[in-house]
Amino acid sequence: MAEANREADEQRAAAAASGEPVAPRDTHIPAPGEYGFGKPAATAQHGEVVAYTPRHESGRLTVPITIHNGSDDRVNYRVEVTVVGGNQDSPITVTTNANNVFPGTTWPTQVDITTAGVTTSPANLQIRLEVVQDVYPYGDGH
């Protein structure tokens, strides 16, 4: 077994390109607006959480969301997205979670709404956001 491992190491070394090691060229962390979700429809938590104009996809209504952790700590987010308007009789609320979001990063996600009465144009709907956030309980040591 040791002989096979040595041979594999030699083959990898022989097949490797000479020169500088390969490193990622683009380590850019996208900003919330760089995900192509369109026009913001609602914001919360001082702009950290943004819901974008709803859209119809595969027979359901989706609301794209970006959650940007602007703090110095890892954070857990609980976001309630409420859709108001259209043909429904009452507001519809959907909850999504983003756990352990690192400082300075953006978590892109979406909520899906599949209920009767949301057949109206997404532009005629209003979006409300409620956000609960707490510091990730294990800190950076976990």
Show the beta-strand stretches assigned E in the chain: 40-44, 49-52, 55-57, 60-68, 75-84, 92-101, 106-113, 126-135
What is the DSSP code (8-state) at residue 17? Answer: P
Which among 88, 79, 40 is positioned nearest to 61, based on CA atoms? Answer: 88
Query: Per residue in 84-98, pLDDT tens?
Result: 876 666 788 899 999
Query: Per residue in 24-74, pLDDT tens?
Result: 566 677 777 888 898 899 999 999 999 998 888 777 788 999 999 999 999
Whether the Cβ atoms of residue 32 and residue 50 lie closer than 8 Å to each other = yes
Instruction: Measure CA 114 to chain center.
Output: 20
